[in-house]
């Protein structure tokens, strides 16, 4: 495998080059601009056969993606923040039409005020639109996940769009070592695109986007529900196969030193890397600390999370976004719901952190673990939901 030095954006663009999609429609937005900019260079240099559609907005980009995918093309795009929100009218159309579009997403805070740095508010805002969501910890995982998402989304049991997210600037613009696959390996791994229900198939005519009232709308939404349920098994199958072939397996969640942990921190994205370092420190001091990394948010891995945390005394659920429900961040509310009927469960607390790119340091993670130790010892939570690191 070639060893490359790549930023997160470069790694995702490299994966796109090797995938060589039929159509890419995109509009630039910081910090995702580089992905499609680099890829457009591949198009100009003749390194891919892709039809690159330069549109006037992200709304048009996703509209073009839907049209191309409905016609029978393998389609990809990339965006961030307000761009994803501008796509939001079209995102549920893509999933309802069962179009396996793959989106390279770079997490960035939503306006206002205008902020170009990382939090997860953009993808959390579209979490219920029928798109699969994967949150990569680093550039290597982003590269691997984009390639895997092609297989997952195009699987006949799924046929749903999916997005792979990286933390803006933290991953997107920082350079790391990645192990890339050979071009022919990627081509062989993803296989030829299998067209299903093309609007251009004259022998099997279909209509899409038609009016659907109360007599059939409900029934037509159920296939998306069922496909999302099946997606969990497909993600695990694809991940296991990828690991067998190339030595890197991810799955839905990942526990780090969690088997005998008494206190745990649950996180998504780049924060997992910071947490690993603190867990190692605490273990050296005899503290039984662990990390649960949630890699896949949609479909939500409720059973896996419940099982992973069943023997933990106290768990801090960290959210890099606030759903403004006053009930905690989105990851916290999902996990709290999953734990509701469980007899064996930890004491949960929520730490909403890092909005607008505010850094979370090793010392911050240590403080969270110290507080979890107090919770585990006392059996009580002083504050259920905290906005951690905000100036008062």
pLDDT score of 72: 98
Q: Which two tokens stand for residue 338?
A: 């999953």
Nearest CA among 380, 367, 259, 381 for reference residue 312: 259
Query: In Å, how far are 9, 31, 129, 294, 341 from 79, measured between CA atoms?
Result: 11, 8, 16, 22, 38
- For residue 112, count other CB atoms closer than 10 A to its CB: 6
Q: Render pLDDT for 225-244 as a digit per residue (tens, 0 to 9).
A: 999 999 999 999 999 999 99
CA angle 277, 282, 284 (to 5 degrees): 100
- Classify residue 59 by burial, with Cβ atoms within 10 Å: 0-12, 13-18, 19+: middle
The whole-model pTM stands at 0.98
Give the pLDDT confidence score for residue 1 in this predicted structure: 85
Query: What contacts 178, CB < 8 A, 6 or more positions away?
Result: 3, 4, 5, 6, 11, 139, 140, 143
d(CA 265, CA 290): 7
Torsion of CA 232, 67, 209, 230, to 10 degrees: -10
CA atoms within 13 A on the CB side of 131: 27
Q: Is 176 within 8 Å of 138 (Cβ atoms)?
A: yes
Separation of alpha carbons 126 and 122, rounded Å: 7
**Strand-strand pairing, 132-135 and 296-298:** antiparallel
Residues of the chain with pLDDT under 70: none
pLDDT at 392: 85
CA pair distance 12, 202, nearest whole angstrom: 36
* Domains and their CATH numbers in the chain: 3-246 (3.40.50.970), 253-387 (3.40.50.920)
Which pLDDT score is estimated for 319?
Answer: 99
pLDDT in tens, 87-98: 999 999 999 999
């585990």: which residue's tokens?
A: 376
265 neighbors 312 (Cβ within 8 angstroms): no
Looking at residue 209, its pLDDT comes to 87
């Amino acid at each position: 495998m070639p060893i490359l030095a790549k930023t997160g954006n470069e790694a995702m663009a490299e994966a796109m080059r090797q995938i060589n999609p039929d159509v890419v429609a995109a509009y630039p937005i910081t910090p995702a601009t580089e992905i499609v900019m680099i890829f457009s260079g591949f198009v100009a240099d003749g390194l891919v056969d892709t039809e690159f559609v330069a549109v006037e907005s992200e709304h048009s980009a996703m509209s073009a993606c839907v049209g191309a995918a409905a016609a029978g093309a393998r389609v990809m795009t990339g965006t961030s923040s307000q761009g994803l929100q501008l796509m939001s009218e079209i995102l549920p159309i893509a999933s309802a039409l069962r179009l396996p579009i793959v989106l390279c997403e770079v997490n960035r805070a939503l306006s206002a005020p205008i902020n170009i740095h990382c939090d997860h508010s953009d993808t959390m805002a579209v979490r219920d639109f029928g798109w699969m969501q994967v949150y990569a910890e680093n550039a290597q995982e982003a590269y691997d996940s984009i390639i895997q998402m092609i297989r997952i989304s195009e699987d006949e049991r799924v046929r749903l769009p999916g997005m792979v997210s990286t933390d803006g600037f933290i991953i997107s613009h920082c350079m790391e070592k990645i192990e890339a696959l050979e071009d022919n390996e990627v081509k062989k791994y993803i296989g030829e695109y299998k067209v299903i229900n093309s609007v251009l198939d004259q022998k099997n005519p279909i209509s899409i986007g038609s009016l659907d009232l109360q007599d059939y709308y409900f029934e037509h939404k159920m296939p998306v529900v069922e496909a999302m349920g099946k997606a969990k098994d497909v993600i695990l199958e694809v991940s296991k196969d990828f690991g067998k072939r190339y030595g890197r397996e991810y799955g839905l969640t990942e526990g780090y030193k969690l088997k005998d942990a008494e206190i745990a921190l649950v996180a998504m994205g780049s924060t997992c890397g910071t947490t690993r370092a603190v867990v190692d420190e605490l273990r050296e001091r005899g503290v039984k600390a662990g990390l649960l990394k949630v890699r896949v948010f949609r479909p939500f891995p409720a059973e896996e999370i419940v099982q992973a945390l069943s023997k933990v005394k106290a768990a801090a659920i960290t959210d890099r976004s606030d759903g403004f429900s006053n009930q905690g961040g989105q990851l916290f509310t999902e996990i709290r719901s999953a734990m509701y009927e469980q007899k064996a469960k930890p004491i949960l607390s929520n730490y909403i952190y890092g909005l607008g790119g505010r850094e979370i340091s090793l010392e911050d993670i240590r403080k969270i673990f110290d507080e979890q130790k107090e919770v585990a010892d006392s059996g009580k939570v002083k504050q259920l939901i905290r906005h951690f690191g905000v100036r008062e």
